[in-house]
Structure 1
Amino acid sequence: MVASEQDRIVRQVFFRVMPLLFVGYVMAYIDRINVGFAALRMNADLGIGPAVFGLGAGIFFIGYFLFEVPSNLILEKVGARRWIARIMITWGLLSAAMMFVQGSTSFLILRFLLGAAEAGFYPGVILYLTYWFPKAYRARIFGAFAVGIPVSLAIGAPLSTTIMQLDGALGLKGWQWLFLLEGIPTTLFGFVFLALIPDRPKDAHWLAPADRTALQTLIDSEQSSVAGTHGTSLRTALSDPRLIALSFIYFANTGANLGLAFFLPQILKSTGLSDMQTGLMTAVPYLFGVVGGLTVGWISDRYDDRRITLATALGLTASGLALAGLATGSLWAVAFMALAAAGLYGAKAPFWALPSVFLSGSAAAGGIALINRIGNLGGFVAPSMVGWIREATGSFEAGLYFLAALALSAVVVTLLVVNARFGDARRPAVALPLPAAPRP
């Protein structure tokens, strides 16, 4: 396939597939982090302290951790269309059910169940994108998808605080309206997703037959090449040191991301802002996150580089969080958090282009899920630690330094592991029969 034809087909796929995935991810993230805005009123109403809130924010990822790998393996077997739709429908219902929380126990239980319901969505979509986009486009594609996080936060912040102004309507608290009105649309969108998303290029009837065949052939060829070099064994992949290193990098990035996301409204509220002002100011760093995700993804593909772009983005994250710690209590912290957000979401683009270098088939399904599974433990550890540090010190400053140290550790691991030999086979591929030498 010539480059111009390939660009045309990929562009067509992008505008048909990505909007649905993007909307689904925005909804997922709004449902995941709206608890941070609910906390502005819910914690006082229910007597939930910072440590319990931090535990509840993080316990979501324990449910996610337990069910993520099985979820991705099921997706590979039954198809992305049905399985991702199932995930969206169930997590939307459970997110809406958060309106019935009565205290610490029910808060923790429902947060755990919400994580179990959503398990597999993000790694499932990452795997799904490798079914559609050739490797030369993947950093840009993953970067475009990843900006769903800052977009959801930029939208979700003013949306959530606006919904909370319904406090008292029909006898419900504002935070109860928040969970209800942001959960039910996700469930409804799950049925839209089920009706419109095809599983693979060969199933896309909106592509011309020749284009379907060309794209599917290219994707199959790339995956066969990876499989021929590295194999497709899930057991072998799970013991690969590269997979463990990537899991740690993602652990650190996710921890820094969610440690900031869950507490950012409270950090800004502590400067004396109103609820509405807090919502608007919370959106600012994530607008820079959108720019970071798109820019780093483009640079990574343009220069065919994953190592330096990833390390640089993580370095921006560490610097921004450390400077925000120094500026805690003033609105200067918002500018430094914007720098951190650009790095946080910029890192996702080159990062998710790395697993497909050495994973395919079942190894890709399980390996990508394992990376996200271990990585999302950072979403448990970091908010819990920030909550504990806040309660122990009375300030968010030390918590931000902790998040900066996490990001800096990921820089070190990236520079050590993602080197010139990163894509080499760790073990010999299965031997193939060679043609007999011609007789003289």
Structure 2
Amino acid sequence: MLDISISTKHKVKRRLLPFLFIVYFIAFLDRSSITYASVGGMDSALGLNATTYGLIAGIFFIGYFMFGVPGNMILEKIGARVWIGSILLFWGSVTVATGFVNSAVALSILRFLLGTAEAALFPGMTLIVTYWFLSKERAAAIALFMIAPPLANSFGAPVSTSIIVKVHQLLGLDGWRWLFILVGIPAIIMGFITFWYLDDDPSKAKWLSKDEKKWLVETLDEDNQKFSKHGSVNAPFKEAFTNQKVWRMTFINFFYVMGLYGITFWLPQMIKSVSTELSTIQVGWITAIPYLLGACALVINAKSSDKTGERIWHTAGGAFLAGVAFIGAAFIGNPLAAIVFLTIASIGIYAWSGPYWAITTAFDPRLAAVGLGIVNAVGNLGGFISPYFVGWLSDLTNSNSMGMVFLAISLILAGCLVLTLKKDKEY
């Protein structure tokens, strides 16, 4: 039995985690490409100021909010393979179309559509993790595909700025337009791959032996009983909607997401603001460093959380570190020191992810689909508020400093809310 457990776990990790990583990597390339388009000429071409850019970048999360819960419910009903494959095709097409916009209105509409397409992706992937991994192993499993966002930004920063500069005016199109076109194509390709590669659950996995399937299904069922006295039958929407844990984790996610997407949509501009002598390509290469170190912090912190079984301080500590670092970046006068503080902020932000989602996925299995959809969809409204407020504060003060303070307050609040979970013995 031990041999079966080891072989099965290894097969599941090799089969699922690289796939989930690639999908999420592509999603963040598409989602954050507007960041580099902004510093590469899009704002001037479409007549956007900082406030308007922040608003349009955040409109993504209005669509994300509206379709997050329904999307996750559809995923559970029709299966991950068909649903994730379909939304990849859709959001890839939307991203390519963004390369041809000629107005702020058109850009806003496409950002909204991109949000609707990606809404069910992350809660769907966390739901998939609950179908294939034991609760005690989920922080590390989630971390191994959640390193995709910081790595996508780390890779995307220099590549995106290089595309903007070096592919400029090819076939008469600006470089920032080519950026959207080129990052949208991989999503379309991955959509077709998903239809034949992904399995909905262990019982349908042809790459597992009969004994491996049996062991995995029985072990997961037994694991799920720790969180539900009712079996694995789905709960009605009302029960999930009124569940206290669902809303506690949602509010925690809301304040964290404000910090996450504040840095996602504004880090290149923040770096550029500390030194007017940096070129677009130099900004891209410098931007890659905080994200790369953030990815390392994510994996290390998640493994530590799984090894020790401790979740609360592994989560809250990252938020506190990032909050303090943003305050340091806001008020220090030295450009190099400011970049160091922004790097530390990125480390803290990404260290959060693994243990936080390990806590969140420990739902009653009957509530998982709807509950994770609520946590992700409502919580990610912070991604609409944060970019707008940072842009508004930038225009108001002609500086990014107050925007950094705003992000610091959001993250410190998130950390404090996580500490309120300490009274729950299951964490």
Q: TM-score under structure 2 normalisation?
A: 0.95
Structure 2: which amino acid aligns with 1:25? Y
Deviations 1:332-356 (A, max 9, x none): 2222122122221111101111133
Q: Do 2:257 and 2:383's aligned partners in 1 also have CA atoms closer than 8 Å? A: yes
* Cα gap change, 1:229 to 1:340, in 2 (>3 Å): farther
* CA radius of gyration, larger in: 1
* 1:22 to 2:26 alignment: no
Q: Deviations over 1:119-161 (max 9, x none)?
A: 1001100101110011111011111111111010011111111
- Cα separation, 1, equivalents of 2:90 and 2:373: 19
Does the aligned pair in 2 maintain the 1:54–1:384 contact within 8 Å?
A: yes
| Offset at residue 237 of structure 1 (A) | 2.5
Is residue 395 of structure 2 the alignment partner of residue 391 of structure 1? yes
What is residue 52 of structure 1 aligned with on the other side?
A: 52
4+ residue runs over 4 A deviation: 229-232
Name the amino acid aligned to 1:382. Answer: S
Preserved CA contact (<8 Å) 1:258 1:383? yes
> Would the alpha carbon gap of residues 240 and 328 (structure 1) be closer, same or farther in structure 2, given more than 3 Å must change?
farther
Q: Aligned equivalents of 1:356 and 1:105: distance in 2?
A: 37
Amino acid at match of 1:57: A
CA 1:401 to 1:64, structure 2 compared with 1: closer, same or farther past 3 Å? same
Structural mapping, 1:349-388, within 5 Å: 349-361=354-366, 363-388=367-392
Match of 1:172 in 2: 173
For residue 400 of structure 1, report the CA deviation from its aligned partner. Answer: 0.4
1:436 aligns with none
Q: Distance in 2 between matches of 1:235 and 1:407?
A: 30
Aligned residues: 421
Instruction: Tell me whether 338-347 or 168-177 shows the greater mean CA deviation.
Output: 338-347
Specify whether residues 136 and 5 from structure 1 end up closer, same or farther in structure 2 by C-alpha distance, changes over 3 A only: farther
Q: Is residue 287 of structure 2 the alignment partner of residue 282 of structure 1?
A: yes
- Residue 189 (str. 1) matches residue 190 (str. 2): yes
Which residue is equivalent to 1:35? Answer: 34
Residue 421 of structure 1 and its aligned partner are, at CA, apart by 3.6
* Counterpart in the other structure of 1:111: 111
Gaps of 5+ in 2: none
Q: Letter of the aligned partner of 1:263 in structure 2? A: W
2:336 counterpart of 1:331: yes
Displacement of 1:359 in angstroms is 2.5
Percentage of identical aligned residues: 36
Alignment-derived partner of residue 200 in structure 2: 199
Secondary structure at the aligned position of 1:13 is classed as helix
Return the alpha-carbon distance in structure 2 between the equivalents of residues 332 and 237 of structure 1: 46
Q: How does 1:252-291 map to 2 (within 5 A)?
A: 252-270=255-273, 271=275, 272-291=277-296
Map 1:217-366 to 2 at 5 A: 217-228=218-229, 232-233=234-235, 234-270=237-273, 271=275, 272-327=277-332, 330-361=335-366, 363-366=367-370
1:341-397 Cα deviation digits (max 9, x unpaired): 222111110111113323213x10010010001111010010010000000000000
Are the equivalent residues in 1 in contact too, given 2:63–2:113 (CA < 8 A)? yes
Looking at structure 2, the residues matched to 312 and 11 of structure 1 have their Cα atoms a distance apart, in angstroms, of: 31
**Cα distance change of structure 1 residues 315 and 378 upon mapping to structure 2, 3 Å threshold:** same
Question: Aligned partners of 1:338, 1:208: CA distance in 2, in Å?
Answer: 46
Q: Is the 8 A contact 2:4 2:215 kept in 1?
A: no
Partner of 1:150: 150
Q: Deviations over 1:286-311 (max 9, x none)?
A: 11111111011111111111112111
Corresponding position of 1:211 = 212
**In 1, Cα distance between equivalents of 2:7 and 2:255:** 37
SS of 1:227's partner is coil
Aligned partner of 1:17: which letter?
L
Q: What is the CA-CA distance between 1:95 and the residue it aligns to?
A: 0.7
Q: For 2:411, which of 390, 407, 421 is the aligned residue?
A: 407
Distance change in 2, residues 1:43/1:218 (3 Å): same
Instruction: Note the C-alpha offset of 1:420.
Output: 3.3
- Shift, 1:316, TM fit: 1.5
CA distance 1:176–1:419, shift in 2 (3 Å):
same
Q: 1:383, 1:72 → 2: CA distance? A: 25
| 1:329 Cα deviation after fit | 6.7
In structure 2, distance between residues paired with 1:417 and 1:136: 18
For structure 1, the residue ranges without an aligned partner over 5 or more in a row are 424-440
Matched to 2:363, the amino acid is F
Tell me the amino acid that sits aligned with residue 340 of structure 1: A
In the superposition, the TM-score normalised over structure 1's length comes to 0.92
| Distance in 2 between residues matched to 1:7 and 1:308, nearest whole Å | 30
Please name the residue that 1:78 is paired with: 78
| Mean CA deviation greater in 229-238 or 255-264 | 229-238
CA separation in 2, counterparts of 1:329 and 1:114? 38
Listed one character per residue, the Cα deviations across residues 203-258 of structure 1 (whole Å, up to 9, x for unaligned) are: 12112221111011111222244221698523222212222111111111111011
Between the aligned partners of 1:90 and 1:327, the Cα distance in structure 2 is 44
Q: 1:175 to 1:344 in 2, by over 3 A?
A: same
RMSD: 1.6
What amino acid maps onto 1:416 in structure 2? T
CA drift of 1:328 comes to: 6.4
Quick one: distance in 2 between partners of 1:201 and 1:338?
40
Q: Classify the secondary structure of the residue corresponding to 2:207.
A: coil
Aligned residue in 2 for 1:430? none
Q: Per-residue deviation at 1:98? A: 0.6
